[in-house]
Structure 1
């Protein structure tokens, strides 16, 4: 039985174009794409187009573990929507919209079966929160 999708989101105090660029630019992805301080994202690549592939390496800073998070884009509408299928077949959708002067990023993903839904939601939300902090900090420059 397929589990219900999980949604995480953030309301970011930055213009839509900056949020989009920071979400999709490999030079930015490596700065925010981790769920905790003891992990990092040493490399990322992104061919942002329908049919294009992306990959980011997520690794423990102590070198004990790493994995590649990768997939293929099913749909890309610049500044609005990204839909992709991960290497394991699960689907993800990310929408971007401006609401009350903030940029709202809503990410919905199919859960995997190895970890609890609560753990997955917490991990993806932690990455989203890192993204929000990164964009808002960089927006002050």
Structure 2
């Protein structure tokens, strides 16, 4: 298994304006609709206190009830419609930028990988969640 201390980046361009993408990324009623990597998972709970020092928490769960976990952190930077940074409970850092690109919004998410799973596995999982966000944000 490869371990690294290098941050990992995933990205997608969403065919929607920045303000709409920002809202669907951050509002709990939207987060529960997209924050999972595959159709056999869901996000039954989310709360988001979108301010420096505020926290985000989302429960990700297998639909068959076999496994669930809480994903969350504390915000260190919030620039509305532009940028988020937060620290996960284990100290890893995450940043998300939102950039106008033509008629769409480029979302770039960078995270510190953990040391339990291969980096490629983590990158694929985070990309799958971002791709699910794109699908949701463009369909509503």
With the shorter chain as reference, the TM-score category is over 0.9
2:47 corresponds to which of 45, 48, 55:
45
| 1:86-97 equivalences in 2 (<5 Å) | 86-97=88-99
Report the counterpart of residue 64 of structure 1 in structure 2. 66
What CA deviation, in whole Å up to 9, does each residue of 1:49-84 have, x standing for no partner? 000011000001010100000110000000000000
Segments of 4+ in structure 1 off by > 3 A?
Answer: none
Report the counterpart of residue 73 of structure 1 in structure 2. 75
- TM-fit CA distance, 1:100: 2.1
Unaligned runs of 5+ in 1: none
8 Å CA contact 2:113, 2:119 repeated in 1: yes
| 1:1-141 equivalences in 2 (<5 Å) | 3-138=5-140
Unaligned runs of 5+ in 2: none
- TM-fit CA distance, 1:2: 5.6
Which TM-score applies when normalising by structure 1? Answer: 0.96
Q: Distance in 2 between the 1:128 and 1:37 partners?
A: 14
Q: Distance in 2 between the 1:88 and 1:38 partners?
A: 26
Question: Over aligned residues, Cα RMSD in angstroms?
Answer: 1.0
Which TM-score applies when normalising by structure 2? Answer: 0.96
Q: Residues 123 and 2 (structure 1 numbering): CA distance in 2 closer, same or farther, change over 3 Å?
A: closer
